[in-house]
Amino acid sequence: QVQLVESGGGVVQPGRSLRLSCAASGFTFSAYTMHWVRQAPGKGLEWVSVISYHGSNKYSADSVKGRFTISRDNSKNTLYLQMNSLRAEDTAVYYCARDLGGYCGGDGCYPRGMDVWGQGTTVTVSS
């Protein structure tokens, strides 16, 4: 069945780095735009980053721009989120999600929404 499984979360000190992974199965991963979305404890959903199906086009929220990098390896059916210079406010559950089929290219990114979600992985930034 269609599935996304995140991993790589944990407790990390402020200023350190962490890489999250999202393993996809049950669908043609290389055909879909993919997202990372996070949710701080007791708070709402916050969109983090999106990557085109081929990996050449990426966009991120201002809150993580310059610190987080989204990437993918279509040969491994895996999405990544490299998180550097972590801050306490990055503490959250991080979800990967598949886009419904929006277009994302060099001239812009037009997502349509997220139809498949992983179960989430928890990142805690604390000294």
CB of 105 to other proteins, least distance (A): 12
CB of 13 to other proteins, least distance (A): 26
* Minimum CB distance to other proteins smaller for 46 or for 124: 46
* Minimum CB distance to other proteins smaller for 12 or for 114: 114
* Minimum CB distance to other proteins smaller for 11 or for 100: 100
List residues binding other proteins (CB under 8 A): 35, 37, 44-47, 50, 59, 61-63, 95, 100, 102, 108-115, 117-120
CB of 59 to other proteins, least distance (A): 6
CB of 78 to other proteins, least distance (A): 18
Q: Are 17 and 81 in contact (CB under 8 A)?
A: no
Identify which of 95, 88, 44, 87 has the alpha carbon closest to the alpha carbon of residue 66: 87
